[in-house]
């Protein structure tokens, strides 16, 4: 019963992410790129086009594991003009830091940043290393390693406590011919948007 519910959850996550990606790619930004473009928020200057780091922990379903997996991740999101990319990895296992799977990915994405929220979606190729074990009829236990190339996608939603610091949720899926994994993580968000105090503004003593 639990396996069936997890399979339904996995399919729902994949369908939801696919819909979001299709919607996001349909949106066009026609304004010219200005790398020095800034906004003023809370009497501070922030760069509109900025890089950010996310890391966190969560749970995931894998179709080759007997229990729900514990996942840790770190991702660096950077931009080339208006285009955003993601470089990162995650590791998973039956418990945190008891890892049987390590996966890296390089993705292309779309990002929408507001004063209190940051939304993003990324998709791209992934490379994984993981092991599985089996016992034959004679009772001998054998460990087998796998190194598949697959596809990775994720959807990020962050509430920003400050303009450049926040906390959020991330739906993700890593799919290859040898394993299908999908799950949810809680992530911390730190951006490099801060440029200093607003010109002409002085703090009250």
Q: Are 11 and 19 in contact (CB under 8 A)?
A: no
> For the chain, which residues score pLDDT lower than 50?
1-2, 5-6, 9
**What is the largest distance, in Å, between two alpha-carbon atoms of the chain?**
79
| pLDDT tens profile 53-80 | 999 999 999 998 889 999 999 999 999 9
Q: In angstroms, rounded to a whole number, what is the distance separating the alpha carbons of residues 11 and 181?
A: 10
Taking CA atoms, 153 is separated from 139, 173, 190, in Å, by 39, 6, 20
Taking CA atoms, 5 is separated from 1, 11, 67, in Å, by 6, 10, 13
Which among 159, 170, 14 has a CA at the least distance from the CA of 90? Answer: 170
The class level of CATH for 2-25+44-195 reads mainly beta
Q: In angstroms, rounded to a whole number, what is the distance separating the alpha carbons of residues 78 and 48?
A: 13
| pLDDT tens profile 26-58 | 555 676 888 889 999 999 999 999 999 999 999
Beta carbons within 8 Å of 21's beta carbon, 6+ residues apart: 121, 123, 153
Question: What residue ranges do the domains of the chain occupy?
Answer: 2-25+44-195
pLDDT on residue 5: 45
């Amino acid at each position: 019963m639990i396996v069936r519910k997890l399979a339904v959850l996995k399919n729902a996550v994949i369908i939801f992410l696919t819909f979001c990606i299709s919607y996001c790619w349909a949106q066009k930004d026609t304004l010219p790129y200005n790398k020095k473009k800034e906004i003023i928020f809370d009497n501070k200057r922030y760069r509109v086009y900025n890089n950010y780091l996310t890391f966190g922990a969560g749970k995931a379903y894998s179709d080759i594991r007997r229990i729900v997996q514990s996942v840790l991740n770190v991702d660096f999101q950077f931009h080339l003009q208006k285009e955003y990319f993601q470089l990162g990895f995650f590791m998973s296992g039956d418990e945190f830091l008891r890892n049987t799977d390590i996966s890296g990915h390089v993705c292309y994405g779309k990002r929408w940043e507001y004063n209190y929220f940051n939304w993003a979606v990324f998709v791209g190729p992934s490379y994984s290393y993981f092991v599985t074990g089996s016992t034959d009829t004679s009772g001998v236990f054998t460990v087998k390693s796998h190194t598949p190339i697959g596809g990775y996608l994720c959807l990020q939603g962050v509430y920003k406590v400050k303009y450049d610091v926040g906390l959020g949720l991330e739906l993700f899926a890593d799919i290859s011919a040898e394993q299908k994994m999908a799950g949810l993580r809680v992530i911390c968000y730190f951006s490099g948007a801060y440029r200093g105090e607003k010109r002409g503004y002085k703090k009250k003593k």
